[in-house]
Structure 1
Amino acid sequence: MKLAEIFERIVGPDAGVRFSAYDGSTAGSPDADVEIVVRSPIALAYVAQSPGEVGLARAYVSGHINVNGDMYTLLSRMASIAIDDVPLSRKIDILRQIGLKPLTMRVPLPPQEVKRSRLSQLGRRHAKGRDAEAIHHHYDVSNRFYEWVLGPSMAYTCAVFPKEDATLEEAQYTKFDLVARKLDLKPGMRLLDVGCGWGGMVMHAAKHYGVKALGVTLSRQQAEWAQKAIAEAGLSELAEVRFMDYRDVTESRFDAVSSIGLTEHIGKDNLPSYFSFLYDKLKPGGRLLNHCITRPNGFEPNIRASGFINRYVFPDGELESPGYLIERMNDAGFEIRHEENLREHYAKTLTHWCENLDAHWDEAVKEVGRGTARVWRLYMAGSRLGFEVNKIQLHQVLGVKLHQGGEAGMPLRPSLDWP
């Protein structure tokens, strides 16, 4: 059976996707604006040996499958017919049609895939050394690459769009300012920003609120970039970013703590100690703003350790439900005062990042290699779709450490836009 016939049996004739293969076969509409090209039998070996998203990702990242056209468009059209949803009997039938050779062919893993044996040698999940390696894998790709994808803000977290046509920079500014206003930052306060990335929140708090801000990150490249940016902005008296694990911060009695995009790396078993640690870092009356990606509920599957995201993007990443996170914050001593879901904003943020990568594609490939650029193209387009269809969410949760007498220091009714 020709490869095109197998493809058409999986996706149907009306998927809006063109398919062509090295055996000369084609399927789908010849006028489709997206095309999957199977370039060699090695692609079949990857898919046959790991049926589902991992096999397809390996074939694409290694260049044995090409995608012509927009990746998001392709994924959205095929979302309801993902191969992982194909019944086992159909998978077995497809493997029979392909034959035994792809199952026995030796094919190397793409170098972009995390060596799980390497992580295991560094200890249990979320041990300090293993966390450092996981963060290094994702964040120490190339600062120049991130500048192209993220834009001038260098903010690698969900932006907040004040209006539909806001630019990415306007939306990232709005996000940092929303966090600052929820934390009620004022001149002279001290802020701890854990998992600070390239220092966006630290610099925003120092520049616009006169706050003395300390940020910490496990990425050496991020810390070096941030310290240079802080110096160039003339903020060295107020802002600092350190290359260190948040658990090694010795200072305490901060007025506020922001955690923007770190909780996903903490791990379910470590959440109680994580929130307790942050609670102990605050003065009475201090606030924590926790901003992170979540599952939509406790029933939706977590990030699979064997899946594409864990193997190629966020090693050891874990997502919990918003209810679970709020419960852990509450049990650590925080009184929960506000919560909101910003998932549509993350879909819009990712749309901009995908466009930025496409606009700098040739430069990005030259900087980090075609395989790594393809990992990012696939992961960001898939994440955008995930937020749009409510497979993943983005929640901000505000908690306060009460004074001994129970005072929260919160206004009776904060306005909806947190002025």
Structure 2
Amino acid sequence: MTISVGEAFERILGRDAGMRVVAWDGSSGGPDDGLTIRLHSPRAVSYLLTAPGELGAARAYLQGELSIDGMDEANPYEVLKHLGVDVSARLPAWRDLRDLVGVVRSTGLTVPELPPEETPGQLRRLASGLRHGRQRDAEAISHHYDVGNDFYEHVLGPSMTYTCAVFETPETTLEDAQFAKYDLVARKLGLEPGMRLLDVGCGWGGMVRHAVKHYGVTALGVTLSLAQATWAREAIRRDGLEGRAEVRHADYRDVTERGFDAVSSIGLTEHIGVKNYPAYFRFLRDHLRDEGRLLNHCITRPDNKHPGLPTRGFINRYVFPDGELTGSGHIVEVMEDAGLEVKHHENLREHYALTLAAWSANLAKHWDDCVALAGLRRARVWGLYLAGSRVGFEDNGVQLHQVLATRTSAAGASGYPLRPSFT
């Protein structure tokens, strides 16, 4: 006799998974006191079985075919923390296989329609060029960052800063923490009046404007996002920084000026591809003067076992197409091989968890406005992405590292103080 849909999921997940599945036909499986997952039609099963794991579940959720009792779609942190970063299905016992096949047949398994917010897989993306070619990089950046400046203003707050902040205490406000991050970068770079700063992947120009206003430098920022560049230029004009601060809509590789006193790379390395790191760090070194400093700030893996492994699943399809992470040790190795002398290395993992919590709170506070701007599915993507990323940083599934290096001269002069002021 064929078992019910609910019973099938209980056998696959196991009763100790802490999840109860309730199907559209009224059947259920799993403990009564577990997290209740509701499958609203046979299409939910098709999503789950054609892409087992987080991707299939996300597709079903975004299409309205799956829901979880008590989950806040604006900030699903509590549910995701309960589920953990990896909920693995169990292989069914041989005696159950026939019954499970019967369930699949009875639900009419199909290849379901994908949410329009999902980017195509790696092979289909080849139509726009190889991964991390200029055209494909520009399209990947546009997918994520050109969702609209109004949307980002709601989520990021007045600083319009989309990178890890630095918190004095857990109660520090997001704005104060973002100011502290920019100030930490400026102090690590040893910025002083009259210096020239290059900020690659500058976003909405936060580092550029901070360095010019508070340290008296002239600064050039570059971003592949036209929406970011447009917003940044208006902010520069509004702050009266024209002539000292500039943001270009350009690929960092198109910067021809050289001899910069400092280079900041805050949140760009994740997008360029690990195989391109040697050329990337050589480019940055070549644009520094002797004794100039480079600060690289990026998300990393907690180990160095899989350098160059692309991100997959939900993040790759919905958030950061073609994103790649590696361990901080691999980054240090490549920087040193590119002729840079590493001077300081810091992990800000816990700070990023706090940053993501603040962004999630902003999304929840402005949920209706964000839905109106981006649509319900896109807003749900952001709810999942921010809360899930917070869990990842809290659980040490990902980290955030700042690595400071100098272009040390052939004679061994680095210009680096014996006791730097930022430590």
**Normalised by the shorter chain, which TM-score bucket?**
over 0.9
Residue 363 of structure 2 is matched in structure 1 by 357
Range with bigger deviation, 360-369 or 305-314:
305-314
Give, in whole Å, the separation in 2 of the partners of 1:259 and 1:22. Answer: 50
Q: Secondary structure of 1:99's partner?
A: helix
> Could you tell me how far 1:223 is from its partner in structure 2?
0.5
Q: Partners in 2 of 1:291 and 1:353 — Cα distance?
A: 19
Are 2:60 and 1:59 aligned? yes
- Uncovered stretches (5+) of structure 2, i.e. residues with no partner: none
User: Deviations 1:170-212 (Å, cap 9, x if unpaired)?
Assistant: 1111100000000010111110000011111011101111111
Contact 2:195 2:218 in 1 (8 A): yes
Secondary structure in 2 aligned to 1:319?
A: coil
Tell me which residue corresponds to 1:123. Answer: 129
Classify 1:312/1:205 alpha carbon distance in 2 versus 1 (closer, same or farther; 3 Å): same
RMSD: 2.4
1:8 Cα offset (Å): 3.9
Deviation, 1:9, is 4.0
Contact kept, 8 Å, 1:8 with 1:28, in 2: the verdict is yes
The 1:399/1:103 distance shift into structure 2, 3 A limit, reads: farther
CA distance in 1, matches of 2:99, 2:368: 36
Q: Which residue of 2 aligns with 1:72?
A: 77
In structure 1, list runs of 5 or more residues that go unmatched.
Answer: none
1:29 to partner: Cα distance: 7.0
2:165 touches 2:352 (CA, 8 Å); kept in 1? yes
Give TM-score, length-normalised by structure 1.
0.92
Q: 2:110 aligns with which of 102, 105, 109?
A: 105
1:101 to 1:316, Cα distance in 2 relative to 1, 3 A: farther
- Identity among equivalent positions (%) equals 56
For 1:338-377, what aligned pairs fall within 5 Å after superposition? 338-377=344-383
Q: Alignment partner for residue 90 of structure 2, among 86, 93, 99?
A: 86
Superposition TM-score, scaled by structure 2 size: 0.91
Question: Which of 393, 415, 420 lines up with 1:409 in the alignment?
Answer: 415
**Does the Cα contact within 8 Å between 1:295 and 1:302 map onto a contact in 2?**
no
Structure 1: distance between partners of 2:204 and 2:5: 46
Amino acid paired to 2:343: R
Deviation at residue 308 of structure 1 after TM alignment: 1.5
Structure 2: distance between partners of 1:191 and 1:296: 30
Would you say the 8 A contact 1:15–1:77 is kept in 2? Answer: no
In structure 1, C-alpha distance between the alignment counterparts of 2:54 and 2:325, rounded to whole Å:
19
**8 Å CA contact retained: 1:303, 1:309:** no
Taking the aligned partners of 1:76 and 1:147, their CA distance within structure 2 comes to 27
Aligned to 1:179: 185
Using the alignment, how far apart are the partners of 2:175 and 2:98 within structure 1? 50
**Aligned residue for 2:246?**
240
Change (3 A) 1:92 1:215: farther
Matched, 1:96 2:101: yes
Match of 1:205 among 195, 207, 211: 211
Structure 2 SS opposite 1:250:
coil
The corresponding residue for 1:114 is 119
Count residues with an aligned counterpart: 415
C-alpha displacement of 1:309: 1.2
Q: How does 1:229-378 map to 2 (within 5 A)?
A: 229-299=235-305, 304=310, 306-378=312-384
Greater RCO (CA < 8 Å, at least 6 residues apart) = 2
The more displaced of 160-169 and 90-99 is 90-99
Matched, 1:153 2:155: no
Cα shift at 1:303: 5.4
Separation (CA, whole Å) in 2 of partners of 1:149 and 1:165: 18
Instruction: Give the aligned partner of residue 23 of structure 2.
Output: 21
